[in-house]
């Protein structure tokens, strides 16, 4: 079955997340748009960055254009509406602002190219997504900007596609290990402890949870930079530390020492800001990280070509990534093979 049909059967919204700039998010988006083209699936499209402009602002290389079919719904900024040549019917000018002007929702009347620049923050993106569904979109695709991941949160989209590519490193092994690392963060296991799941909806700010599921709230506006203070509040009865915000390497280090009798609990993988090496070391020391809301990674797309003029054999890169990530579909969006 085509990827787009699978996605459409299971989900209302899917985010496309790049592991780096030029990892091929827009190519992935176009791949899905093309798959949908001769189907009856009505797509809703937006971007948390900017898509469809001809030149990349940083590398000055050419970027793919976005060609959309009739009945697609798009959410984009007012000031760039005229920059495409698709025929658009404006459905609504929303109150959501973007630096390029208010976000407008349009229905494509005559196929053609469009530029996409939606709201740049996740909470507005969520509301825009809901509006597109209200206007009849079967499946909303949200392209994340550059390497930004926030819209992959299950709070915002039902599932995600990770776009990776040669651009990550000139060393194919590093491309694979980095991709596998980020995928593993997105795929962090959901907590299975039923008693904890019972109190899931009480968890809205950082706290320490003991073996009788009592919550102890530290007095801090944010846990960022207060890893040590949090660690000092734990004792042998501590079972979980729930973190409601960003989880950095230094936070994980502060909380990973001695005989670890607790699991670190977060909402989802988009909260983690660590790197491959530190994370690997901490895992060795016994770090346990679980999530309340697992992210569904539906596929990993691979762009075997880097914009700076090197590339890897597509088959090999796809195979190595498949081996490293397990049962997730890996697709070379340039070759088109599944």
Partner 1 sequence: MSLGKVDLTKIKPYGDTLNDGKMQLSFTLPVPKGDEADEAAKQLARKMGLSEASVVHSHDLGVGYTFFIMYGNCSHTVDYSVIEVPKVDLEFMDKKGVEQYIEENIKRDVVIIGACTGSDAHTVGIDAIMNMKGFDGHYGLERYKGIEAINLGSQVANEELVAKAIALNADAVLVSQVVTQKDVHIPNLTQLVEMMEAEGIRDKIILVAGGPRLSHELAQELGYDAGFGPGSFANHVATFVVKQMVERKLI
Work out whether 127 is an interface residue with partner 1 (CB under 8 A).
Answer: no
Interaction between residue 216 and partner 1 (CB under 8 A)? no
Return the structure tokens found at 188. 């962090």
The owner of tokens 């609504």 is: 92
Which listed range, 29-37, 97-105, 157-165, 286-294, lies at the site for partner 1 (CB under 8 A)? 97-105
Task: Answer yes or no whether residue 100 interacts with partner 1 by CB under 8 A.
Answer: yes
Out of 50, 107, 131, 239, the residue judged to bind partner 1 by CB under 8 A: 50
Among 38, 40, 60, 99, contact with partner 1 (rule: CB under 8 A): 99
Residues 251-270 touching partner 1, rule: CB under 8 A, are 251, 270
Single residue of 138, 273, 281, 290 touching partner 1 by CB under 8 A: 273
Q: Is 55 in the site for partner 1 (CB under 8 A)?
A: no
Structure tokens at 166: 């040669």
Q: What does the H/E/C string look like for the chain?
A: CCHHHHHHHHCCEEEEEECCCCCCHHHHHHHHHHHHHCCCCCEEEEECCCECCCECCCCCCECCCEEECCCCEEEEEHHHHHHCCCEEEEEEEEEEEECCEEEEEEEEEECEEECECCCCCHHHHHHHHHHHHHCCCCEEEEECCCCCCHHHCCCCCCEEEEEEEHHHCCCHHHHHHHHHHHHHHHCCCECCCHHHHHCHHHCCCCEEEECCCCEECCCCCCCCCCHHHHHHCCCCCEEEEEECCCEEHHHHHHHCCCCCCCEEEECCHHHEECCHHHHHHHHHCCCCEEECCCCCEEEEEEECECCCCCECCHHHHHHHHHHHHCCCEEEECCCCCC
- Alpha-carbon distance 257 to 16, whole Å? 36
* Candidate ranges 67-75, 177-185, 218-226, 283-291; the one touching partner 1 (CB under 8 A): 218-226
Residue 39 as a binder of partner 1 (CB under 8 A): the answer is no
Q: Choose, by CB under 8 A, the member of 185, 209, 247, 306 that binds partner 1.
A: 247
Q: Contact with partner 1 (CB under 8 A): which of 14, 29, 88, 122?
A: 122
Smallest separation (angstroms) from partner 1 to the CB of 249 = 9
Site map 66..95 versus partner 1, x via CB under 8 A = -------------x----------------
CB 151 to partner 1: min, Å: 9
Of 2-10, 36-44, 54-62, 102-110, the window that binds partner 1 (rule: CB under 8 A) is: 54-62
Question: In this complex, which beta carbon is closest to partner 1, that of residue 124 or of residue 332?
Answer: 124
Which parts of 131-190 interact with partner 1 (CB under 8 A)? 145-150
Question: CB–CB of 154/293 below 8 Å?
Answer: yes
What minimum distance in Å lies between the beta carbon of 50 and partner 1? 5
Pairing of strands 139-143, 159-165: unpaired
Which residues are registered as beta bridge partners of 140?
Answer: 13, 44
Give the nearest distance from C-beta 150 to partner 1 in angstroms. Answer: 4
- Of 220-239, which residues contact partner 1 (CB under 8 A)? 221-222, 224-226
| Contacts with partner 1, residue ranges (CB under 8 A) | 20-21, 48-50, 57-59, 79, 97-100, 117, 120-124, 145-150, 221-222, 224-226, 244-248, 250-251, 270-271, 273
């Amino acid at each position: 079955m085509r990827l787009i049909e699978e996605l459409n059967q299971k989900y209302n919204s899917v985010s496309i997340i790049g592991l780096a700039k030029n990892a091929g998010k827009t190519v992935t988006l176009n791949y899905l748009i093309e798959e949908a083209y001769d189907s009856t699936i009505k797509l809703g499209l937006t971007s948390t960055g900017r898509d469809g402009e001809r030149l990349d602002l940083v590398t000055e290389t050419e970027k793919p254009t976005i060609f959309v079919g009739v009945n697609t719904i798009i959410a984009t900024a007012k000031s760039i509406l005229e920059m495409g040549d698709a025929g658009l019917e404006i459905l609504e000018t929303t109150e959501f602002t973007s630096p390029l002007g208010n976000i407008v929702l349009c229905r494509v009347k005559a196929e053609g190219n469009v530029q996409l620049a939606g709201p740049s923050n996740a909470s507005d993106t969520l509301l825009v997504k809901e509006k597109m569904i209200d206007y009849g979109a079967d499946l909303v695709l949200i392209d994340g900007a550059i390497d930004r991941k926030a819209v992959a949160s299950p709070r915002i989209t039902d599932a995600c596609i990770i776009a990776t590519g040669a651009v990550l490193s000139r060393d194919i092994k590093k491309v694979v290990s980095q991709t596998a690392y980020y995928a593993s963060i997105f795929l962090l296991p959901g907590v299975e402890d039923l008693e904890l799941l019972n109190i899931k909806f009480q968890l809205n700010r950082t706290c320490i949870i003991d073996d009788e599921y009592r919550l102890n709230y530290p007095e801090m506006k944010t846990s960022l930079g207060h890893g040590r203070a949090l660690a000092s509040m734990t004792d042998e009865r501590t079972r979980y530390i729930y973190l409601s915000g960003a989880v950095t390497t230094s936070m994980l280090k502060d909380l990973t020492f001695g005989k670890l009798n607790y699991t670190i609990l977060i909402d989802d993988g988009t909260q983690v800001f660590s790197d491959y090496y530190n994370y690997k070391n901490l895992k060795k020391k016994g770090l346990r990280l679980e999530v309340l809301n697992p992210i569904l990674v539906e596929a990993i797309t691979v762009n075997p070509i880097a914009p700076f003029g090197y590339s890897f054999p597509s088959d090999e890169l796809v195979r190595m990534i498949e081996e490293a990530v397990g049962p997730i579909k890996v697709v070379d969006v340039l070759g088109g093979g599944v």
